[in-house]
């Protein structure tokens, strides 16, 4: 895949939005700051690349590398929008904004995944979500549909709730647990657990702690050590 200059990606974004009366470019390169209907947004747009999985060759990804400027963005009340760009299809992929912002500088590299088969299916004027095996539901749309995206960006993803504050939220927690099996397909989680569970010197306790923290931070799922131990027994590594 050919490289695309970060400034070129910003220009592609601006080209789709410049004539919109609600839009204003503020400053920056990558990330850059815009206003839409008076609300400031941080935009970070990078090229989608192959994830290099032999068993899943159409899996693509966009990666957030550790950067000093992300510390400031993470503390800001302004939304952060992370976009992956497929130049072949002129398609953009957006992941849950709050999750992406929460994971800024979480580690040296944080990966967000997509599928080329889904990117290929997108038509102008027909943006849509696709559900991945790891449970994520990114939003796919043509670059020229950026005005539609910006109009709806604040409602595209389900709110992340504090599941400890009410009986209604406790029910949400129960539902999240009932879907835990889908989270066990998370490629990044499996890559973290594999070296701890494969080989003669297993680090089971470390794997349990890693899994509990990952599920809580990424999906808002709280499970006990005992539950985690049972789930680890169901994992299979190729």
119 vs 60: CA distance, rounded Å: 10
For residue 33, the cross-strand partners are 27, 42
Specify the pLDDT at position 163.
34
The string of DSSP codes covering 75-108 is HSSS-EEEEEEETTTTEEEE--HHHHHHTTTSSS
CB count in 10 Å sphere of residue 20: 14
Q: Where are the domains of the chain?
A: 6-155, 167-232
pTM check: above 0.75: no
Q: What Rg do the C-alpha atoms of the chain give, in angstroms?
A: 19
Cα angle: 188, vertex 216, 106; to 5 degrees:
55
C-alpha dist (Å) from residue 56 to 50, 53, 95, 122, 185 = 10, 5, 20, 20, 13
- CATH code that applies to domain 6-155: 3.40.1350
Q: How do the pLDDT tens digits run along the chain, 238 residues long? A: 456 778 899 999 999 998 899 999 999 999 999 999 999 999 999 999 998 887 788 899 999 999 999 999 999 999 999 999 999 999 999 999 999 999 999 989 999 999 999 999 999 999 999 988 888 899 999 999 999 999 999 889 865 433 333 333 333 343 444 456 666 667 778 888 888 888 777 888 888 888 888 887 777 777 888 888 888 887 776 5
How many residues can be counted in the chain?
A: 238
Specify the pLDDT at position 28.
93
Specify the pLDDT at position 200.
76
């Amino acid at each position: 895949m050919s490289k695309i200059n970060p400034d070129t990606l910003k220009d592609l974004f601006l080209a789709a939005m410049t004539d919109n009366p609600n839009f204003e470019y503020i400053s920056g390169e990558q990330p850059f700051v815009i206003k839409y209907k008076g609300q400031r947004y941080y935009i970070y747009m990078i090229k989608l690349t192959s994830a290099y999985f032999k068993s899943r060759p159409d899996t693509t990804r966009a990666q957030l590398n550790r950067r000093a400027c992300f510390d400031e963005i993470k503390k800001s009340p302004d939304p952060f929008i992370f976009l992956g760009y497929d130049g072949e299809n002129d398609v953009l992929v957006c992941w849950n904004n709050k999750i992406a912002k929460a994971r800024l500088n979480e580690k040296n590299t944080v990966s967000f995944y997509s599928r080329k088969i889904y990117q290929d299916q997108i038509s102008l004027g027909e943006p849509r979500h696709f559900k991945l095996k790891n449970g994520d539901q990114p939003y796919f749309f043509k670059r020229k549909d950026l005005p539609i995206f910006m109009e709806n960006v604040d409602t595209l993803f389900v709110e992340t709730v504090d599941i400890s504050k009410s009986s209604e939220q406790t029910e949400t927690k129960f539902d999240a647990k009932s879907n835990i099996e889908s989270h066990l397909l998370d490629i990044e989680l499996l890559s973290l657990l594999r070296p701890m569970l494969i080989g003669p010197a297993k680090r089971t306790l470390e794997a349990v702690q890693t899994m509990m923290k990952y599920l809580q931070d990424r999906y808002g799922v709280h499970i006990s050590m005992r539950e985690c131990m049972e789930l680890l027994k169901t994992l299979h590594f190729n």
